[in-house]
Amino acid sequence: MWEAIASNRRKSALLILLMGLVLAVLGAVIGVVLVTRAATGGDVAAGALTGLAAAFLVWIVMWLTAYAGGDGILLAAAGAREIQREDAPMLWNVVEEMTIASGLGKMPRVFLVEDPAPNAFAVGRKPETAAVAVTSGLLQRLTRDELQGVVAHEIGHVRNLDIRFMTYASVMVGSIVMISDVFLRSMFYGGGRRRTSSREGGQAQAVMMLIAVLAAILAPIFAYLLYFACSRRREYLADASAARFTRYPPGLASALEKISGLVGAGVRGQERPSRVLAPMYIINPMKAMGASGPFSTHPPTEKRIAILRGMAGGAGFADYEAAFRKVAGGACIGSRTLAADERVSVREPAAEPESKKAGKEQLREVTDLLSRLGNLLLIPCACGMRIKIPPGFEQTTIGCPRCGRTHEIPTAGAAGTGEGGPGEAAQAKPLRYKRKGGEWESFQCTCGNNVQLSPRFSGTHVRCPKCNATIEVC
């Protein structure tokens, strides 16, 4: 599929160059306005060059920031938190499997976004530093085959180097939006009300001001159109990659049906999802953007599902191309890739538990994971309730709100006294916590902070992240 990927890169590079042209024109126009505002008869050419240089400087600063830590910025903007194998074993195993199937040399880092709307995205300047992020809603609602399809799609973006181009494009859009916003705000707060010594000079200044304001309004819109165009073609190629990696196209098709159905029904946890991040999600989380047209970040989901459902004969690139031609028309994958493509048969679906009990267990596991990431202390009650205790809880016991049972708050006590509550006497001696089993456990340090112990913890001591106290675990 290298032909289609290479063609897509060339088109994306052209789109990014067009964004650069928009940035240059915007900077030059604003520079001219600033010169004419400063004094009548100012050097227009010097102003244009100054504005162009300033715009280029903004772009360089933002590009260097993205190059050094753009992945972290995008993940932080989405509220993503990194997780490990013990946090979500099924998700971790799926990412591991798809890394091997795709031939990536290194497994991407895994992140979780607390959001009830099911979705996922990938970021990374290069495959070696890539990360895959999924929402809590995705883990709660998808089966293993569906989750595998979504993860394979995102790893397809990593494999095809889509995430690199999207990161660069997002930097360009961010530069244009920032410059436009600063200029318009300066106009709004009275920076443009200056008198001139001649009527002609005042008219010329007004014309240039009008041109600059229009440029500042239209430039971000045009930049977004180019940015969205960068992402649409990539989705089909990532779907084709996912079908081949998983050898089960119905898994991704079913996941897209669930995700689009819930997003369309208004299941959205983030009130204002980032416009820059929207093209990176497997399905646009911004319902208001629509499903097709110039402002669409993705191709119509119905077409993507129909293509995947139409791959009944196999899971290879040739099968995807045949289904694509039938549904969307035209070509998607290069002829050389198709000529060298090997036959890939569709595997049988994985056995999935269908009981309501299994669904509730999956929901509980994700809820517990979010509680641990929020550093809440979990106390399971015999009635099935899981009591959540925030850090700094000062009581030594708590009653179950469902059945009324009283539970002691597990704490690290002074060594030689068993488990005890917080206090000066306990702090004066070494601390000890007696583990109750091999599952996830949480307890309270004497400083009031909650400490989490994973099933993989096998040490004899742990440090409190807040007060740095050493606690013996036995």
List, in order, residues 6 or more apart from 247 with CB less than 8 Å away: 315, 344, 345, 346, 347
**Which amino acid, one-letter code, is at 247?**
R
Distances (CA, A) of 415 to 4, 226, 447: 65, 64, 16
**DSSP characters over 19-70:** HHHHHHHHHHHHHHHHHHHHSTT--HHHHHHHHHHHHHHHHHHHHHHHHHHH
3-state secondary structure string, 192-222? CCCCCCCHHHHHHHHHHHHHHHHHHHHHHHH
376 to each of 372, 421, 437, 443, how far by Cα in Å?
6, 17, 19, 9
What would the two tokens of residue 135 be?
């929402």
The contacts of residue 349 (CB under 8 Å, 6+ apart) are 145, 248, 250, 251
Helix or strand holding residue 342 (H, E): none
Tell me which residue of 358, 360, 349 sits closest to 149, measured CA to CA.
Answer: 349
Report residue 355 as tokens.
Answer: 């009981």
Write out the two tokens for 13.
């590079």
CB 286 within 8 A of CB 278: yes
Token couple for 353: 């538990």
Q: Would the CA dihedral through 350, 355, 356, 361 be positive or negative? A: negative
Whose tokens are 């360089």? That residue is 60
Question: Does residue 278 contact residue 285 with C-beta atoms inside 8 Å?
Answer: yes
Q: What gap in Å lies between CA 154 and CA 241, rounded to an integer?
A: 9
Compute the residue count for the chain: 474
DSSP state of 298: S
Bridging pattern class, strands 441-444 and 386-389: unpaired
CA–CA distance from 427 to each of 224, 361, 441 (Å)?
57, 38, 22
Rounded Cα distance between 23 and 180, Å, is 10
CA atoms within 13 A on the CB side of 194: 19
Q: Which residues are annotated as catalytic? A: 154
Q: Phi and psi dihedrals of 133, rounded to 5?
A: -120, 135
Cβ-contact 381, 387 below 8 angstroms: yes
Q: How far is CA 86 from CA 129, 229, 235, in A?
A: 21, 39, 31
